[in-house]
Structure 1
Amino acid sequence: MCTLELLSSRKIDSFRAMRKQETDLLISFIREAAGDHAAVDLTAKVSSLSADMSCRMIMGKKFEVSEFDERGFSAVIQDAMKLAATPNLGDYIPQIARFDFQGLTKKMKKVGTVFDNFLEKIVEEHIQCSRNDNNEEEDKAKDFVDVMLGFLDSEESEYRIERPNIKAIILDMLSASIDTTSTTIDWALAELIRNPDILKKVQKELETKVGVERMVEESDLESLDYLNMVVKETLRLHPAGPLMLPHKAREDCTINGFHIPQNASVIINAWAIGRDPHAWTEPNKFFPERFVKSDIDFRGHDFQLIPFGSGRRSCPGIQLGLTVVRLVLAQLVHCFDWELPNGMLPGELDMTEVFGLSVPRAKHLLAIPTCRLVHK
């Protein structure tokens, strides 16, 4: 259902206007900061943008702190991601799982209750709106909850889902989209600011293909070859999910001399694969040109680059994620030049990682913008 109904090309395209609205808001904010020559917390702003886009697409609107939890929507999402990434001794020693020595089960139940109450309210609001709908907004793009409610308790549909299924899918899509997308954009921006020559090449391509009198449109993205190589190189060095979601061996097998028994958990280290010196020349260097005249792709066909996984269980949101990453990144480097605050040199930018389900930067990316475009 996610692939055919929620994340189809047609559905993703129906939210194009929304993505433009949210991106324009970010650019307007940064333009004001540029007028004051003030530093912008790009990590925080991109994270907020990603959350707002995901919420509007999945649930139909953005949410204020007071509508969710006193900690805020993004903060609770981050808490859940950190808890999910914490190794649980009970997973490895089942006999002690019931004692919850680390307190992880208790914490997850607490976060789960917050989400369940929130998502229950969202589902109920959508049900009430659908009952009161007089078909006055037929042209309005349906959000993902609207689509799923169309299959609720349906006897005829091939998708048999109930209320708990809808809430679970909403949570899965929120957690899968917000953090991974913003982290990828954050790393790409950091690498470009740290490598000014590469940044200038991206900007030169944008000047040539788009011009300096308008912002980037989604229709421009496919023609931006060098920008797409930058995104590909970012995904190689900084995959959104460094450790793929666990898989299970369906039968006994042997791979490279290693015996893997049936039902064993299998975890793929995409981070290590992307930095394997046997597969990549100078693997730790950010070098988009390595993909010039290369047919290596990240959609699961080339196993030296699998940030989205491979096969039937690969990430179904690849098209949506790439669209947002490329659009936001293109706008930020096309509309503005960037310099680090307090006289910091590009080579001094801290690129330390923090381990988790995604691998974000340890420190927020702060940079001072200068407007580039000609405004009529």
Structure 2
Amino acid sequence: MVPFVYVLVFLSIFLSLVRFMNPPSTKKNLPPSPPKLPVIGNLHQIGPLLHHSLHSLSENYGGPLMLIQLGCVPTLVVSSADAAREIMKTKDIVFANRPDVKVWRRLLCELKEVSAAPYGEYWRQVKSIMVLHLLSNRKIEDHRQIREEEIAIAIDKIMKSRVVNLSDLFVRFTNDVVCRVTFGQTYSEGESGRKFRKMLEEFFEVLGGLNIEDLIPWLAWVDRLRGYHAKVERVAREMDEFLDGVVEERLRDQSKAGGRENYLDVLIRIQKEDKIGVALDRLAIKALLLDAYTAGTDTTATVLEWTFTELLKHPKALKKAQDEVRMVLKGKKEISQEDIDNLKYLKAVLKETLRLHPPIPTLVPRVASHDVKVLGFDITKGTRVIVNAWAIARDPKVWDDANEFRPERFLDCNIDFKGRDFDLIPFGAGRRGCPGIAFAMATNENLLANLLHKFNWELPNGGKVDDLDMSEQPGLTIRKKVPLFVVATPVSS
């Protein structure tokens, strides 16, 4: 058996070398590319932090557009605002589809999620359901009480702790807010809460992990050998069983939410009414629940973590943000939406954090549905597209002191992150841009304003800001590699 495998590997490498040495003739004007190796293409040039690797390659070989080969997959790397505008606005419909990845199908309910579904009528209908019944301004305002209750719980936890693990607190807070809005209850306490968090950690780990089969299909045996396939199957099964249990529990007890209709209630009602143009079956309901949860937790917690880290690293900015909150509130204990709207510097802090630390720095990949020209280059059907939002937001041609944390740059700047300004696209843009921006920012702004209002902050054991670890943890979302521990001192009334 082993010799047979060796023969297959040898033949595959030999055939790849033949193709590499005798490429088909073409007159196409392809984007610039770095040199590549047989079989693996440019995989050897990709490190654990994809956005950094792609940025380095683009600077050396590509520029705004670069074509690389990730195994068998031709991949267009977009590293400028003008190129991103071509992809996500001018030719948005050509690039409106997502790659059809086998592992994604298994983990994301056969691609019935809004974020991963093929572009078409099903995607339009379920996106409309999500926006109208979960992410609209009216729904966000309806969820204010949930946010306020969870903020109060977070503040109480901080009050009882001498040293606070803010990284963990932000994860728990966003988990509980999104779970209550989506499922009508939380899953963070006790042994069941521990298992739930572990399941989610593993879900994000395998979803963002290296999937060799996707890039080099004939090396699928490597994924099996290293246990990746088995882990994907186990995590997908556990998530499916959890979502099935949540749906079954709600069907048995429609009053579970205590009179407040949550997203699951809405989906069950829509399924019964059967008034939309596509079938909203059990799998689709689970997909929409999974989408709402996964898109709204890890990314939001990541933004909160990096925002507080940058404020601690820049004490003047921290003081300015605290002074603004306390001046706007003028002794009030509770923060209203009107107060939030007046926190101009805090909003600038969040914009600057999103510029430097987009939670998914290379966004979710797209794929060309047919041959097309982009900035004069020929892009063939099936080419994957990675938009490096991290590199675009640090372009020195656009941003002064591009790698420096300077919230003041946004006080007199009209650039926003909602998908209209391609210099800043942490949430993407166009048809496949994130529909949950308003929900995420309402969560971020309210929690940060409360924490700045009620506590003074410093590093433990007299730590110096220059020693604050800013390294990144590889993954689907780019968290801090080292958790953020702080000392919080309550502010006397």
Whether contact under 8 Å (1:215, 1:335) holds in the other structure is no
1:365 corresponds in structure 2 to 484
1:347 paired with 2:466, answer yes
Instruction: Report the AA paired with residue 94 of structure 1.
Output: P
1:13 paired with 2:137, answer no
1:160 paired with 2:279, answer yes
1:31 corresponds in structure 2 to 159
Q: Deviations over 1:44-95 (max 9, x none)?
A: 11111111111111000012566757x5222221211111111211111123
2:60 corresponds in structure 1 to none
The secondary structure found in structure 1 opposite 2:387 is coil
Where does the alignment leave 5 or more consecutive residues of structure 2 unmatched?
A: 1-128
C-alpha deviation, 1:274, in angstroms: 1.3
Whether contact under 8 Å (1:41, 1:364) holds in the other structure is yes
2:267 corresponds in structure 1 to 148
Q: 1:307 to 1:255 in 2, by over 3 A?
A: same
C-alpha deviation, 1:28, in angstroms: 1.6
Q: 1:347 to 1:305 in 2, by over 3 A?
A: same
Instruction: Report the AA paired with residue 426 of structure 2.
Output: P
State the distance in 2 between where 1:178 and 1:156 align. Answer: 30
The secondary structure found in structure 2 opposite 1:100 is helix
State the distance in 2 between where 1:64 and 1:274 align. Answer: 35
State the distance in 1 between where 2:379 and 2:230 align. Answer: 33
- Please say which structure displays the higher CA radius of gyration: 2
Mean Cα deviation higher: 23-32 or 71-80 = 71-80
| TM-score calculated relative to the size of structure 1 | 0.92
| TM-score calculated relative to the size of structure 2 | 0.71
Q: 1:64 to 1:182 in 2, by over 3 A?
A: closer
- Once the two structures are aligned, what percentage of the paired residues are identical? 36
The secondary structure found in structure 2 opposite 1:150 is helix
Whether contact under 8 Å (1:51, 1:178) holds in the other structure is yes
1:296 corresponds in structure 2 to 415
- Choose which of 243, 250, 254 in structure 2 pairs with 1:119: 243
2:172 corresponds in structure 1 to 48
1:59 paired with 2:59, answer no
Matches within 5 A, 1:217-366: 217-366=336-485
Matches within 5 A, 1:158-197: 158=277, 160-197=279-316
State the distance in 1 between where 2:489 and 2:159 align. Answer: 8
2:201 corresponds in structure 1 to 78
Q: Deviations over 1:332-361 (max 9, x none)?
A: 111111010111111211111112111000
- Choose which of 74, 85, 97 in structure 1 pairs with 2:220: 97
C-alpha deviation, 1:281, in angstroms: 1.0
Whether contact under 8 Å (1:298, 1:306) holds in the other structure is yes
The secondary structure found in structure 1 opposite 2:253 is helix
C-alpha deviation, 1:285, in angstroms: 0.5
Q: 1:153 to 1:247 in 2, by over 3 A?
A: farther
State the distance in 2 between where 1:211 and 1:3 align. Answer: 36
CA RMSD of aligned residues (A): 1.9
1:2 paired with 2:130, answer yes
The secondary structure found in structure 1 opposite 2:270 is coil
C-alpha deviation, 1:259, in angstroms: 2.6
Whether contact under 8 Å (1:65, 1:73) holds in the other structure is no
State the distance in 1 between where 2:220 and 2:376 align. Answer: 32
Q: Deviations over 1:251-288 (max 9, x none)?
A: 22232444321121111111111112122111110000
State the distance in 2 between where 1:66 and 1:216 align. Answer: 31
Q: Deviations over 1:227-256 (max 9, x none)?
A: 000000000000111111111112222324
2:232 corresponds in structure 1 to 108
The count of corresponding residues between Structure 1 and Structure 2 is 364
The secondary structure found in structure 1 opposite 2:472 is coil
Where does the alignment leave 5 or more consecutive residues of structure 1 unmatched?
A: none
- Choose which of 77, 88, 91 in structure 1 pairs with 2:211: 88
C-alpha deviation, 1:153, in angstroms: 5.1
Mean Cα deviation higher: 177-186 or 4-13 = 4-13
Instruction: Report the AA paired with residue 124 of structure 1.
Output: E
The secondary structure found in structure 2 opposite 1:369 is strand
Whether contact under 8 Å (1:68, 1:118) holds in the other structure is no
Whether contact under 8 Å (2:212, 2:222) holds in the other structure is no
Q: Deviations over 1:10-52 (max 9, x none)?
A: 122111101100101111221233xxxx111111111111111
Whether contact under 8 Å (1:193, 1:199) holds in the other structure is yes
The secondary structure found in structure 1 opposite 2:177 is helix
1:205 paired with 2:333, answer no
C-alpha deviation, 1:113, in angstroms: 1.0
State the distance in 2 between where 1:66 and 1:206 align. Answer: 35
Q: 1:64 to 1:342 in 2, by over 3 A?
A: closer
Q: 1:13 to 1:159 in 2, by over 3 A?
A: farther
Mean Cα deviation higher: 153-162 or 174-183 = 153-162
Q: 1:373 to 1:181 in 2, by over 3 A?
A: farther
Instruction: Report the AA paired with residue 197 of structure 1.
Output: K
Q: 1:64 to 1:237 in 2, by over 3 A?
A: closer
